[in-house]
Amino acid sequence: MRADATQDPAALAAEVTAARDRLLSWAAACPDSRWTTALGDDDPRPVAVVLDHVADAYGYIGRWIEALVRGEDLHVDGAVVDDLNARHAAGGTPSRAEVVAHLVGAGDRLVALVAGLSPADVRRGDGRVARLATIATLHADGHREELEASLA
């Protein structure tokens, strides 16, 4: 992400959209035979669950952004994220159609939220709003790269 884009809501939203669209393109190209393949010993989740996890993360990142914009005190750490991830992973393996719909819907909601922020909103929480939007981009790209590497 460009350094000058970190305070611009439209640029942040465009970055989230681009990363989500790269992930959707990868998902569309993923063969059905690999859809339920585990990533590996370090991550036993199937491809479908990893992709759906990104969509799930869009939801909680959006809720955290909304809380910060409202001026609420927000505590997020590794334990909070690990708990969210564990609860999501226990939910079963969604179909390709379910995953795509979740990525599109949750991604669109997050993008609309970020795009509708003011520059002052982006700076709220000591810049945490901007960091969360950036994390949404890095998260999608990071998992896409992980999937590409594990299924190569």
pTM: 0.91
CA atoms within 13 A on the CB side of 118: 5
Cβ–Cβ under 8 Å, residues 88 and 9: no
Tens digit of each residue's pLDDT, the chain (152 residues) = 444 456 899 999 999 999 999 999 999 999 988 888 888 788 888 999 999 999 999 999 999 999 999 999 888 888 888 888 788 777 788 999 999 999 999 999 999 999 999 999 999 999 999 999 999 999 999 999 999 988 77
Give the number of other Cβ atoms within 10 Å of residue 29's Cβ.
7
Which candidate, 140, 56, 62, 142, places its Cα nearest to that of 91?
Answer: 56
For residue 59, give both structure tokens. 């939801």
pLDDT of residue 13: 97
For residue 37, give both structure tokens. 């393949």
pLDDT of residue 2: 42
pLDDT of residue 94: 92
Which candidate, 47, 42, 34, 141, places its Cα nearest to that of 100?
Answer: 47
Cβ–Cβ under 8 Å, residues 132 and 61: yes
Domains and CATH numbers, the chain: 3-150 (1.20.120.450)
pLDDT of residue 1: 44
